[in-house]
Structure 1
């Protein structure tokens, strides 16, 4: 059977791209790779890409010079988890507090990992997790 190697892109959908950009850039420190009218693209750790779409703007198919991207969109409480080192957990909690971001939940995983949960400006559930959460992480 062919094998999947990793997830390259993850998408979130927001009402206001500029408001979302302030959050993802100022609070999480992500670097924008591309900013378009319907989509902002962020580098996550030099290995993954976070696509932040304006809600509804990608619902229709998009013709590209060499192909077609089928329409997609989402709403509701979407979840994304970011990997962090165990040594940086307290620094991240401090950073969130400095930006008045409430931590809504915490989990100590059986294998030793820890997670904190909080929301972005559109209500998407974000998680920061240290190693020891899953067998593979």
Structure 2
């Protein structure tokens, strides 16, 4: 049976790409990989990509000389968890506070990990998670 290795990309959909870009580049310090009219792509730890789409701009199929990407879009607030080192949690919390980003929740997991929850400007629930959250992390 074939197996899945990991998630390569996660997509969120936002109302204002420039506002989202400011948050993800300034607060979370994610390196920009690609900037298009309808999409910004960010490197997350050299291991995955966060795609930030302008809401509604990718709803139709997109065909180019290299192939076709079927249309996709979403409405509503989603959840994305970012892996961080246990020794970085306090520094990340201080960074959120410095940028006036409210922490909405904290959890200490049975396996020893910790999570801090906060929102981006579009209301998406973001999480910083230290090892000990899942059996695989």
Report the TM-score range of the alignment, normalised by the length of the smaller protein. Answer: over 0.9
RMSD: 0.5
> Which sections of structure 1, spanning at least 5 residues, go unmatched?
none
Number of aligned residues: 137
Aligned to 2:84: 84
CA offset digits 1:74-126 (Å, max 9, x no partner):
11111100000000000000000000000001110000000000000000000
CA offset digits 1:11-50 (Å, max 9, x no partner):
0100000000000000000010110000000000011100
Aligned to 2:103: 103
> Which sections of structure 2, spanning at least 5 residues, go unmatched?
none
Aligned to 2:3: 3
Aligned to 2:63: 63
1 CA distance for matches of 2:79 and 2:65?
32
TM-score normalised by the chain length of structure 2: 0.99
Question: Aligned with 2:103: secondary structure?
Answer: coil
1 CA distance for matches of 2:32 and 2:128?
20
- Give matches, 1:1-137, under 5 Å: 1-137=1-137
1 CA distance for matches of 2:127 and 2:89?
11
- Shift in Å at residue 67 of structure 1? 1.5
Q: After TM superposition, where is structure 1 displaced by more than 4 Å over at least 4 residues in a row?
A: none
Question: Aligned with 1:131: secondary structure?
Answer: coil
1 CA distance for matches of 2:29 and 2:66?
33
2 CA distance for matches of 1:101 and 1:91?
14
Question: Aligned with 1:118: secondary structure?
Answer: strand
